[in-house]
Amino acid sequence: MTNPISLEAMAASVPDGALLALPPDNSLPSVALAKALVRRGARGLRLLGVPVAGFAADMLIGAGCVAEIETSAVSLGEAGFAPRFSAAVRAGSLVVRDCTCPAVHTMLQAAEKGVPFMPLRGLIGSDILAHRPDWKVVPNPYAAAGEDPIVLLPALQPDVAIFHAVMADSLGNVWLGRRRECATIAHASKRALVTVERVVPGNFLEDERLAPGTINATYVTDIAIAERGAHPVALLDEYGFDAAYVADYARMARTEAGFTEWLAREVMTGAAPQAVAAE
């Protein structure tokens, strides 16, 4: 049976230093849980953008929660460059492991399959490869000897997958439609923490129309209800992207002081009392 936990309890279950896989702004990040992690004062987190990172990652970086990020980009989309990410790169206070989108997917797919590595075309000649000692170039064993170099990528198993879904059912299955990168990170990660708009009775897997967009409860560690939990990011056809909110963030987060003020207004006020006290 689904037994949702509180958002603050979910944030408390994420240990400092954990490797967190996050979907990008067009694919259902749990901004609500990211804000709760800021409130709990998480430290040393390692983020994986699947395959890129956006608003939630920039906020976590600005709040000092993040030690490392592995991603193919960090961007606020139409609102421009990610200001706290850019500042942290300039300051050298953040370890950045640059990646390229299909490499993120491939490393996670290797973890999904339980194999140690998978090959990927392209990448050769890129400085991304030159800065990744964990990526190896080998001759394609199926080609004539010594020919056709190809890149091997190690399996990547995040500690925690974090995303926002539309709904959970009575059995703890979650439905988020076609955004299957969330299924990939749930499959590949040790744990998946999912925030949802609502919990509904029934079993999505018995409904042929819902089943293809469902992630089986076997992959889902905990569920928390967070209404408008993706905001300011869009949630499928449930609600749209709040461009004004992100533009306001981008403006304020240009400076450390502005970001701190934004955080006090938009994140810390939503705290459970004990979380504020803990900060």
Judged by the rule CB under 8 A, the positions of this chain that interact with another protein are 24, 26-27, 51-52, 71-75, 77-78, 81-82, 85-86, 89-90, 92, 96, 98-103, 105, 109, 120-129, 131, 147-150, 178-184, 234, 237, 240-241
Q: How far is the CB of 106 from another protein (least distance, A)?
A: 8
Per DSSP, helices labelled H in 150-190 are 181-188
Residue number with CB closer to another protein (96 or 199): 96
Residue found under tokens 């991304």: 128
Tell me the C-alpha distance between 194 and 183, whole Å. 11
Residue number with CB closer to another protein (74 or 225): 74
Residue number with CB closer to another protein (208 or 237): 237
Residue number with CB closer to another protein (83 or 229): 83
Residue number with CB closer to another protein (73 or 272): 73
Q: How far is the CB of 201 from another protein (least distance, A)?
A: 27
Tell me the C-alpha distance between 178 and 192, whole Å. 18
Tell me which long-range contacts 62-69 makes (C-beta under 8 A, separation of at least 24).
62/87, 62/88, 62/253, 62/259, 62/263, 63/38, 63/263, 63/267, 65/37, 65/38, 65/41, 66/94, 67/17, 67/43, 67/94, 67/95, 68/94, 68/95, 68/96, 68/97, 69/94, 69/95, 69/96, 69/97
Q: How far is the CB of 124 from another protein (least distance, A)?
A: 5
Locate 201 and state its tokens.
Answer: 């009775």
Q: How far is the CB of 207 from another protein (least distance, A)?
A: 17
Q: How far is the CB of 22 from another protein (least distance, A)?
A: 13
